Amino acid sequence: MKFISNSINRFINLETSSSIILFVVSIVAVIWANSSFGYLYEELWNREFTIGFANTNFHLAKPLILWINDGLMAIFFFVIGLEVKREILEGELTTLRKASLPIFAAIGGMLFPVLIFSGLNFGKIGAEGWGIPMATDIAFTLGILKLLGKRVPIGLKIFLTAFAIVDDIGAVLVIAIFYSTNIQWDLIMYAMLLFGVVIFLSYKQVYSKYFYFVIGFIVWLLFLKSGVHPTIAGILMAFTIPIQRKVDCMSYFKSVTNELKFFKDNSTPSNTLMSKQQIEAVGNIENLTEEVYSPLQQLEHNLHGWVSYIIMPIFALANAGVILSFDGLGNASHITTNIALALVLGNTIGIITMSLIGIKLKLADLPDGVNYKQIVGVSFLGGLGFTMSLFIANLAFNDVTLVAAAKMGVIIGSLIAGILGYLILKFSLKEKIVIK
């Protein structure tokens, strides 16, 4: 339990510090877009960049914002895929019993916002934005939990993390199925053939990060040209990364100990140069260290910081710059209100309702040290959509006015959900609970 606690706390510390950066960058984007320099904001993200050779078939030309949303965010989705695979194979989703409450909560947190938005928006423009309020932002929600300090039970942290991951799975499926248009199935077939090759190699435990990167880039490019959103390629490639280690920890310890002894026994009087035997020993240790890593765990560890501290803030800077005014929205202003209500009410009602159903049917249990008031607080935090909701808003609408209305709804709804969730949890958590 202590190992799980430490792992969760390390994960939350990373997400918390990144959530602070994300919040600051989002405020900067909003201030910039609403300032007298707002035109520079629009010009920057709509400036076209070309990769490859112009005037040939070997080039890609896209506005900067699409390079971010289609390219950088594929890496974000790749890391999500790694987290999902790890949780399914080794984490909180390994068994149905362990995963049942987060699954029930995530179903409620996805279904009810869709129903509320669709009901409020019935017969009006913008109905295709039903997927926007169904996503939860794990960085901000865990950041809010961190603000509450050591009073937060570890069971509540694990529940929120697992719930957010299941919610991400649902959001990815919605993007793949409902927000992909004009699909070219021949390109998808080529991509899936390549995907099948790396799946087979992974099954045979044949892994080279350089080869997988090249195949992953080709799969991403095929998805980009096919009409299916290319971030889905990131999720698929994540599932090809092996989780098994070539060398177990005990064998690694014994081998490294022997190499270090050999290194010591073959020392030289020189303080600058090593002997040939020492160089070989160091090389053997490096090879062993590479093989003791799980490729999946190593990639997740190496990429998580890049995603949290660079990719997500860049995405927020490019997408959160919404002009906070109803004046220019015209007949689309209802989208803002409906998304905000669906985020707050839909997630709260859905997560509480489905969690209670799971518990009452004895298909799920409350985590240790967690009470129903705390589940209510977490259910409000589930309405903090931000990153994924802003992402889906860009896919759902082509009209810039509808996109602006949707993004304003996401910002308002997420802000309300975050504040209410924090206050409820603050007053429901007992001061005497200390988790070390």
pLDDT in tens, 5-31: 455 555 555 556 677 888 888 889 889
Non-local CB neighbours of 56 within 8 Å, separated by 6+ positions: none
pTM of the model: 0.75
- CB-based contact 316:387 (threshold 8 Å): yes
Q: State the average pLDDT over residues 77-97.
A: 79
The DSSP symbol for 310 reads I
CA 75 to chain centre: 10
Share of the chain above pLDDT 70, in %: 91
Confidence of residue 435 (pLDDT cuts 50, 70, 90): very low
3-state SS of 79-100 is HHHHHHHHHHHHCCCCCHHHHH
Q: How many CB atoms lie within 10 A of CB 293?
A: 16
Backbone angles phi, psi at 275, to 5 degrees: -75, 165
CB 140 within 8 A of CB 409: no
- Name the percent of the chain lying above pLDDT 90: 25
Mean pLDDT of 281-299: 83
Q: Which is more confident, 210 or 322?
A: 210
Distance of CA 158 to the CA centre of its chain: 16
- Each residue of 208-261: pLDDT tens digit? 888 999 999 999 999 888 878 788 888 889 989 988 877 777 888 888 888 888
What does the block give as tokens for 403? 């996109």
Max CA separation in the chain (angstroms):
85
Distances (CA, A) of 146 to 102, 105, 141, 210, 344: 20, 21, 9, 37, 21
User: What pLDDT score was predicted for residue 33?
Assistant: 87
Give the side-chain half-sphere CA count within 13 A for 322: 28
Backbone φ and ψ for 58, nearest 5 degrees, come out as -105, 60
Which pLDDT band holds residue 318 (cuts at 50, 70, 90)?
confident
CA distance 233 to 87: 20
pLDDT at 183: 80
Q: Is the pLDDT of residue 166 over 70?
A: yes
Task: Convert the pLDDT of each residue in 381-410 to its tens digit.
Answer: 999 888 889 889 988 898 888 998 999 999
Average pLDDT score over the chain: 83
